[in-house]
Amino acid sequence: MQYPKTPTVDQADTYHGTVVPDPYRWLEDDNAEATKAWVAEQNKVTFAYLEKIPRRAAIKDRITKLWNFERWSVPGKRGGRYFLTRNDGLQNQSVLYTLDSLSAEPKLLLDPNKLSADGTVALSGTATTEDGNLMAYGLSTAGSDWQEWKVRDVRTGKDTSDHLKWVKFSGASWLKDGSGFFYSRYDEPDPSAALTKVNYFQKLYLHKLGTPQSADALIYHRTDQKDWGFHGSVTDDGRYLVITVTQGTDPKNRVLYKDLATPDAPAVELRMAFDASYDFVDNNGPVFYFKTDLDAPRSRLIAIDVTKPDKANWKELIPQSAETLGGVNAVAGRFVAEYLKDAHTVVRTFGLDGKPMADIPLPGLGSAGGFGGRKEDTETFYSYGDFTVPGVIYRHDFATGKNEVFRQPRVDFDPSLYETKQVFVPSKDGTKVPVFLTHKKGLKLDGTNPTLLYGYGGFNIPLTPGFAVSRLVWMEMGGVYAMANLRGGGEYGEEWHQAGTKLKKQNVFDDFISAAEWLVKEKYTSPQKLAIQGGSNGGLLVGACMTQRPDLFRAALPAVGVMDMIRFQKFTIGWAWQSDYGSADDAEQFKALYAYSPYHNLKPGTRYPSTLVTTADHDDRVVPAHSFKFAARLQACQAGENPTLIRVDVKAGHGGGKPTAKVIEEQADVLAFLVKELGVEAK
């Protein structure tokens, strides 16, 4: 491979007595002409390589054909109307509709595809008034985390004059009378650094309908706490504003509330110890219900009377169980609780007094979500999917206890040809790590199967079974798909999460490497037929594992990864990840970070796996500099003929809101790369 020449600079920093070279520091400036030229040259090499793969066109055609199926979101209900999205198959963005009844014809409310010629403007959030007549909605452009919010009259389909900018990591929550809504924003950044500048000092505002953003009332902020974030949520009864205070990505949070019945009421501090997570569920007057992991690492439900908030007065309604409690909703006069049991969903219901009621049965060992509504509702909706079942939307009737299919996708394949099982693999220290395996039935365990191992392992986020067209195409070609539930994730509660953070982050990589070794030992595959894949924190996972065990993998697919573990906190929201990663400012944590940082652990003259790094020019979550620097150094260090390519998407971001056409192009490139590098034979 002839790669573009990448200059180096004489840049080094000293951390706690250790000199850390950074020869590709100049690639951090995404606005520099030299960086733009480097990206263009790298893309030229990458796409020339990918386009010459003979089976790429056929792979893209198959992905496109399978992707062309109708799919719906889980409906929500306000003011007698149902709100839901639909994609007819290949639309770049799903379209928002309303239904006057479940049997009525959908009415178009908002089509994001008409907001840009190339489909790069995406709907990023909605919030509807109590009467269902007004909807606030957020838009994201080119995949950026920055949002603009507008308001649409549901009755006329016309927008009002309201227009809010510089919103990020925020939803909207309406006052009960629909006169305005709460949202959070940052100060306007310098335009030249909008995609890279660090984000501090979020503020919570109230926007009154029909007024300019400059007139919005500042409700809560903290000039002494630059890294606090604020989320304002109005209770269903309209009485209180619950202010959730976050600090980075740490699951622990603080809680305040305001009595909206009293003008200019102060924000009352309810829980400020930052000792656990407190997720507000609902209230009954002054009694607030929270899901919390305080004294319960797998979480429980408690009731706090805000008129007597001392811990001695709290009531436990749903105690911790053997499974991890995920979401809780108050619907139809009961609590609907979603649990994770070995990384698949189980749904139970409880009375408002906490007494167990009937479970909501699911059709298999998959993932379910939704279960929204109000206490007075008699129904709820949810989706269910797994590796071979695309998201089916169900309606559950609480009066009869019946589940019925509301919308069911039809995909052009036969699920009976495939099988899924779960195994538990011992990690380096003996910890049992769940791994899902899915593939065609009749697989021969002879060590020759091309296998794609996927993982994440961070930020208390669980990986659960889900349908993806690219996985299906991979399995159609004879591939095995393996998904490992690593420490650091949220599969088994806060203890499992903490076991993969900071000084224990190496556990995550050990878990993933152990899963790979098990696949080889059990003759599912061999190192010559094994690829690894992950995105964001999962991109870090792939980068760390391919540098620690380059002999174990034939191909690596790190997507939008965090690759420089010494400087990640210096860009946009990177500082927020210190709760999981730690910081190079701390001597002990620096030692751990430097030991696995993918960019810093590439060694010249090493034969690394064939690698396709993927990122995007508008990624302001994990800035593309991480991938730029890693790819440049990998090209310089690579020994042998394994290709080292970087694919930089344009007008795209971290992944959210990416147009269907761009997703298909990227996945066709990824699968074509795997087919070539793993020697997958046509069948």
Indicate whether 533 and 671 sit together in one domain. yes
Is residue 99 domain-resident?
no
User: Domain range spanning residue 543?
Assistant: 12-64+413-440+448-458+468-675
Under a CB-based contact definition with an 8 Å cutoff, are residues 26 and 9 in contact? yes
State the CATH number of the domain containing residue 45. Answer: 3.40.50.1820
Together in a domain, 382 and 509:
no
> By three-state DSSP, how is residue 342 classified?
coil
Let me know if residue 540 belongs to a domain.
Answer: yes
Is 57 contained in some domain?
A: yes
pLDDT confidence of residue 25: 98
Establish if 528 belongs to a structural domain.
yes
**Pair (381, 328) in one structural domain:** yes
Same domain (yes/no): 384, 452: no
Does residue 635 form part of some domain? yes
Residue 233 appears among annotated catalytic residues: no
Pair 512, 533 in one domain: yes
530 shares its domain with 452 = yes
What tokens were used for 96?
A: 């928002």
Number of domains the chain is built from = 2
User: Do 426 and 390 have their domain in common?
Assistant: no
Phi-psi region of 647 (alpha: psi -120 to 50; beta: other; left: phi over 0): beta
State whether 391 and 478 are in the same domain: no
Indicate whether 397 and 422 sit together in one domain.
no
- Same structural domain, 600 and 569: yes
Indicate whether 355 and 478 sit together in one domain: no
| Residues lower than pLDDT 70 in the chain | none
Given 536, 579, 597, 627, the catalytic residue: 536
Angle (nearest 5°) at CA 200 between 255 and 233: 30
Query: What does the pLDDT look like over 311-355, one tens digit per residue?
Result: 999 999 999 999 999 999 999 999 999 999 999 999 999 999 999
In a domain, 307, yes or no: no
Q: Which residues contact 235 (CB under 8 A, 6 or more apart)?
A: 241, 242, 282, 283
Per the CB < 8 A criterion, the answer to whether 518 and 530 are in contact is no
Inside any domain, residue 164? no
Residue 626 among the catalytic residues: no
- What span, in angstroms and rounded, lies between the C-alpha atoms of 67 and 90? 7
- List, for residues 477-532, the tens digit of each pLDDT value: 999 999 999 999 999 999 999 999 999 999 999 999 999 999 999 999 999 999 99
Residue 475 has what pLDDT?
98
Residue with structure tokens 């309303």? 98
Are 399 and 524 found together in one domain?
Answer: no
Tokens at residue 577, please? 């990840």
Q: Report yes or no on 640 lying in a domain.
A: yes
Residue 676: predicted pLDDT:
98
